[in-house]
Structure 1
Amino acid sequence: MKKEVVSMGTRIEVTQRLKTSYQGGKKAEKTSILDNFCQSTGLARSSARRYLTSQTLGVKNIVRMDRRKSRTTKYSTAAKEKLVWLWRMMCMPCGKYLVEDRLQWIESLEAHGELVLGQDGWTENIRQELLSMSAATVDRYLKTERDRLRLKGISTTKPGTLLRNSIKIRKAGDEMETEPGFFEADTVAHCGPTLKGEFARTLTLTDVIIGWVELEVLRNNAHVHIRTGLDAAMDSIPYQVKGLDCDNGSELINYDVVSWAADKQIFFTRARPYKKNDQAHVESKNNHVVRHFGFHYRYDTEEEREVLSALWKAVCQKMNYFTATKKPIGWTSDASGKRKRVYDRPQTPLARLLKSGILSDRQVRDLEQTRDAINPAVLTREITRLQSMLIALAKDKTDHLTAQVVEVKTRRLKNQKGGVKVVAI
């Protein structure tokens, strides 16, 4: 039989009448009172027991307070505001990476006068609050600040069959991958919504061991520009490049690049056809660095290429000197037997390079001096300034091309839906 739930006023009245008798009665009396209370109010037995024993439930004009909401917050509002400022200066990393990088950034910002005790609300207490926040807390405080915009681009990689069979396929455990110096290479097209015409490319190189990244702007995918970009990257990388791995695109699989690698005595390999994960390191950089900082606009003028080149110089300094990354070191299994990747503690590419032992003492000193001379706040402001210039130069043009492409696709789809008209004779 379904119980009828009475009004709150009736429930309060019945509770007041029975509460004293219930709290002072014996076990048998309590059982009888509880049975009658449940029958009168329609409450479940456990809920009814709480009403009869509580000092607040069932009492008119008394509201229970949620202690979780009344509890004071651990971190001050000023610390949260500084966290947002620091997060923006670091180009909006996730909480885990921010926690690993924050000490280096705070020390560098203090050394260059961006954070001064007693000025702009920067105090020792706020400093300690920022350094004590966990990654989960950081992500929770920054949730409303995150930019959730995700864009999509166009792939321009076409198979290069000319030398494919003569170039060694990279295998797990190759001897060149045991220490820094083995790079993956790829190109990113800045074509906007259409592949028609000439547009800029970015040549991306990343070290598979330490994550060092170099970006070079190319006018197009012509072999002469590819070689020029490779030469510029070799000059910028502060240690010896021993190996180079690329996909099967014709922009990198050609006689010019192969002969260039042979002249430089660089071990040259290629990925398996149609196996994108063979180049997971450089594909990650294409997404999280090139597209993140360079957007999906179309760059096809000399001015745009110059701005993009200056942007990549600043971005490479930020990624190599001030941005920690993690590397897989093995596998483990959870309680259900599912395999999970195990990663090491995040470190900057520079820190990994200094610990590798392949540098001379002079190289170590030069790199440390270069890092200490860089003001990360100025670096972030320069990145933001150059990004604003790219938006001003390319956004309207790209939006116009996108509208044209959508119009053409809509017209084509409309014609396809028209079908064939059959006329009876």
Structure 2
Amino acid sequence: MAAKRQITKRFRTEYAKASKKGKGEILDRMCSALGIGRSTARRLLNEPASPRPDGDGRGRTARYSPGSFRLLEQVWLLADMPCSKYLKAMLPQWLPALEAAGELDGFTDGEADELMAMGAATIDRHLKATRDAARLRGISSTRAASEPLRNSITIRKAGDELDGLPGAVEADTVAHCGPTLMGEFCRTLTIVDFATGWTENASARNNSFTMLSGALEAIEARIPFRIRSFDSDNGSEFINHDMIAWLQQRDIEQTRSRPYRKNDGATVESRNNHVVRRHAFYYRYELPELDPLNELWELVEIKANLFTPSRKPHGWRTGRGDRPHASTTSRAPRGSASWSSTGPTAPRAAAGGSPTNGGNASRKR
């Protein structure tokens, strides 16, 4: 490697001053001496001589400064630790807001420009250690419903086509049990619309039908469209006679995933992690913490639904085996009613929890 650098350095000045014919001769000599191709030789001769700051003469100088990576970690934490692709889409909106709030004092404009220039892969690579250190694990509390009752519910598999209209939701619960399942602890019900990605959360005292149906009614009042279908796992909190009757009274179709196939409900399973666990962590919450939890979800849904990009399947790639093509989009701000073929972007009214549709309150689709 040292001989390669020395030969390249010797030819670089001569190559820069040579004519077109002379450059060709230099390339031939360099290819013969190093056993490389002409394109590689041309690249080595054209790139500037830029040894590393430590003086070992290897490679090229770093593109990003250490300060830009410290800024990356700071913004990532303040933005609630999104994945690299989400963070890349959020930077143009979040950086000016954080700077105006004084959260980025001590960082220079040059470091901010370097952060804006970073790609998603670079962000992922430099956040890996920090992300791995923050990764925690929870306890599963799902108890399967009886087989005869479970078999009466239609199965919806991963990849089954939907009509693309809002109202087809996936549901799941998260147990805030801490390190043990003993005693009574809060559960958070998560509802995600498959077409729009709209996410709602509501916590209940336990997973009984009385408590969960109350949480579901609260979500139903807030969500800006009518729930048409309800897909869940095989837990007994969802598949029981009371819940089946409750959904039928509201003309809501009920489906379920296959046992031990979390990918059938991948949309809501992802929210369990980056919405519920990220904000409520893995702590134990009991009855005194129920109201603060629900107050937390009201704030979280504003950020998740109005200020976080939504990544969902959009169209299909041709010639690559029907692989879904994902697109990153942002929803409209609060009060801007907008309907499209992929669903509503109009949020609910700020007061009263009534859904909106172009300014007509109390109307649902």
Q: Output the CA distance in 1 between the equivalents of 2:161 and 2:128.
A: 43
**Which residue of 2 is the match for residue 183 of structure 1?**
169
**Which residue of 1 is the match for residue 326 of structure 2?**
344
Shift of 1:328: 3.4
Alignment of 1:104-183 (within 5 A): 104-109=93-98, 113-114=100-101, 120=105, 125-143=110-128, 145-161=130-146, 163-170=149-156, 177-183=163-169
The RMSD of aligned alpha carbons is 3.7
Q: Which one has a larger percent helix, Structure 1 or Structure 2?
A: 1
Question: Alignment partner for residue 286 of structure 1, among 250, 272, 285?
Answer: 272
Question: Alignment partner for residue 59 of structure 2, among 55, 59, 68?
Answer: 68
Instruction: Return the letter of the residue paired with 2:59.
Output: R
**Which residue of 2 is the match for residue 309 of structure 1?**
294
Structure 2 residue matching 1:252: 3-state secondary structure: coil
CA contact (8 A) 1:227 1:256 kept: no
Q: Output the CA distance in 1 between the equivalents of 2:150 and 2:80.
A: 39
**Unaligned segments of structure 2, at least 5 residues:** 1-32, 35-53, 354-365
Q: Note if 1:248 corresponds to 2:234.
A: yes
Instruction: Return the letter of the residue paired with 1:264.
Output: R
Q: Output the CA distance in 2 between the equivalents of 1:67 and 1:159.
A: 59
**Which residue of 2 is the match for residue 10 of structure 1?**
none
Question: Alignment partner for residue 231 of structure 1, among 217, 225, 233?
Answer: 217
**Which residue of 2 is the match for residue 376 of structure 1?**
none
Q: Output the CA distance in 1 between the equivalents of 2:101 and 2:57.
A: 41
CA separation of 1:315 and 1:244: change in aligned 2, threshold 3 A: same
CA contact (8 A) 2:158 2:265 kept: no
CA contact (8 A) 1:200 1:299 kept: yes
- Return 277-286 or 75-84, whichever deviates more: 75-84
CA separation of 1:138 and 1:154: change in aligned 2, threshold 3 A: closer
CA separation of 1:226 and 1:143: change in aligned 2, threshold 3 A: closer
Structure 1 residue matching 2:189: 3-state secondary structure: strand
Q: Output the CA distance in 2 between the equivalents of 1:275 and 1:95.
A: 27
CA contact (8 A) 1:185 1:204 kept: yes
Q: Output the CA distance in 1 between the equivalents of 2:124 and 2:149.
A: 48
Q: Output the CA distance in 2 between the equivalents of 1:84 and 1:173.
A: 36
CA contact (8 A) 1:245 1:268 kept: yes
Task: State the aligned residue count.
Answer: 295
CA contact (8 A) 1:205 1:214 kept: yes
**Which residue of 2 is the match for residue 6 of structure 1?**
none
**Which residue of 1 is the match for residue 207 of structure 2?**
221
Q: Output the CA distance in 1 between the equivalents of 2:195 and 2:344.
A: 15
Q: For residues 308-357 of structure 1, what are the alpha-carbon distances to aligned partners after superposition, in whole Å with 9 as ceiling and x for unaligned? A: 223323322222222224223446788xxxx7955323224558x95635
Structure 2 residue matching 1:93: 3-state secondary structure: coil
Structure 2 residue matching 1:83: 3-state secondary structure: helix
Q: Note if 1:209 corresponds to 2:191.
A: no
Question: Alignment partner for residue 83 of structure 1, among 72, 82, 87?
Answer: 72
Instruction: Return the letter of the residue paired with 2:309.
Output: A
Q: Note if 1:192 corresponds to 2:174.
A: no
CA separation of 1:183 and 1:293: change in aligned 2, threshold 3 A: same
CA separation of 1:240 and 1:104: change in aligned 2, threshold 3 A: farther
How many percent of aligned residue pairs carry the same amino acid?
Answer: 44
**Which residue of 1 is the match for residue 87 of structure 2?**
98
TM-score w.r.t. length of structure 1: 0.59
Structure 1 residue matching 2:154: 3-state secondary structure: coil
**Which residue of 1 is the match for residue 19 of structure 2?**
none
**Unaligned segments of structure 1, at least 5 residues:** 1-44, 47-62, 371-425
TM-score w.r.t. length of structure 2: 0.68
CA contact (8 A) 2:158 2:263 kept: no
- Return 181-190 or 136-145, whichever deviates more: 136-145
Q: For residues 27-73 of structure 1, what are the alpha-carbon distances to aligned partners after superposition, in whole Å with 9 as ceiling and x for unaligned? A: xxxxxxxxxxxxxxxxxx98xxxxxxxxxxxxxxxx9841536x3x4
Shift of 1:100: 1.3
